[in-house]
Amino acid sequence: MPVSLDNLLVVGISSRALFDLEAEETIFRTQGLEAYRKHQIDNENEILKLGSGFALVRALLKLNVLVHNQRFVEVVIMSRNSSETSMRIFNSIRHYDLDITRAVLSGGAPLAPYLHAFNVSLFLSLHEDDVQAAINSGVASALLYQKPDNAFEELDQIRIAFDGDAVIFSDESELIYQTQGIEAFENHERENALKPLPEGPFARLLKALSYIQNNFKSADGRSAPIRTALVTARSSPAHERVIRTLRAWNVAIDETFFMGGVGKSDVLAAFKPHIFFDDQPGHCDRAAPLVQTGRVPLKTLLEQGRLTK
């Protein structure tokens, strides 16, 4: 009987996000595929250094060893490498003792068509085209920034921070703010305070983390070592709709920060997340030197003969 991934938090991560392959990427871009192929085969026993997504993946996989006979997380390597050039990746996975057994090696083809086949809940990559295609297909996805200096600091908890609009929630309200201004945005949120916000691309991931928190029973009775934070530019009166939406979803966020336009970086540095997800390049640029950051692109749709974002 086939193994089902339906009830697991499945993270798809590119090999370049899990490991530091920047030198190899430069070889590919400047010297071509054949030079890249030769380099990887000649160095397949050289262990790769850690990449931007490594700390989060390692932390999530630890959940599986804390509960007897129950898995919560599955990680799938998703790479445009061919099987011929992938041995170095698998050797590095084994070296770091990562419980990763599944892989998509597309041989240069796009990765997005395979995300739903593996029930991927979160896709992380350093290739913008793959991330954009994943978002367009309805999968929570983020373009990782290069890791900050403290990226591999050991923490007792898995810590994940989210922006609100266009990340956890849809971009419906944010578009009103961008096109009509703050007053129209606040009036809209006040008038719709009792109406839950539509789900954004990361709503499913947040709900999956909440499910793990609620159903985690370790051998020694500890609760799930997961802590989430919402760090949003919203403030009163736009706070009420957020609180009521999370209540309607039956999701509890551990820490919530209504920043009201104040910069997010200091709060994020204090929270110390394994990763912070935001859709705004400016917020990401300021956060990236302090905490591991992933930018969430807006979904693009061809509607009525025009490209909208």
pLDDT in tens, 41-91: 999 999 999 999 999 999 999 999 887 778 899 999 999 888 888 999 999
For the residues 246-264, what does the mean pLDDT come to? 93
3-class SS at 144?
Answer: strand
Mean pLDDT of 243-250: 94
Q: How confident is the model at residue 306 (pLDDT cuts 50, 70, 90)?
A: very low
Two tokens, residue 267: 């709060």
Considering only the top CATH level, what class is 9-144?
alpha beta
Residue extent(s) of CATH 3.40.50.1000 domains in the chain: 9-144, 158-308
Query: Side chain identity at 190, as an amino acid letter?
Result: R
Q: What is the pLDDT of residue 302?
A: 45
Distance between first and last Cα of the chain: 42
Q: Does residue 6 have an active-site annotation?
A: no
Residues 7-20: what's their mean pLDDT?
94
Q: Is 13 helix (H, G, I), strand (E, B) or coil?
A: strand
State both tokens at 117. 């086949």
Q: What is the band of 119 on the pLDDT scale with cuts at 50, 70, 90?
A: very high
Sole residue written with tokens 């089902």: 4
Active-site annotation holder among 6, 42, 149, 163: 163
Token pair in block for residue 202: 């990361």
pLDDT at 308 over 90: no
Cα separation, 158 vs 227, in Å, equals 6
Confidence at 236, pLDDT banded by 50, 70, 90: confident
Strands (E), the chain: 9-13, 73-79, 102-105, 122-125, 140-144, 158-162, 226-232, 255-258, 275-278, 293-295, 301-303, 306-308
Residue 301: which pLDDT band, with cuts at 50, 70 and 90? low
Average pLDDT value for the chain: 89
What tokens does 33 get?
């595929």
What residues are paired with 9 via a beta bridge? Answer: 73
In sequence order, which residues have a C-beta less than 8 Å from that of residue 171 and are 6 or more positions away?
Answer: 165, 200, 279, 298
Instruction: Please give the pLDDT value at position 218.
Output: 62
- Of residues 131 and 172, more confidence is placed in 131
Residue type, 97: D
State how far the alpha carbon of 124 is from the alpha carbons of 62, 179, 195, 250, in Å. 19, 30, 31, 26
Quick check: 296 pLDDT over 80?
yes
Is it the case that residue 256 has pLDDT exceeding 90?
A: yes
Q: How confident is the model at residue 305 (pLDDT cuts 50, 70, 90)?
A: very low
Q: What is the third-level CATH fold of 158-308?
A: Rossmann fold (3.40.50)
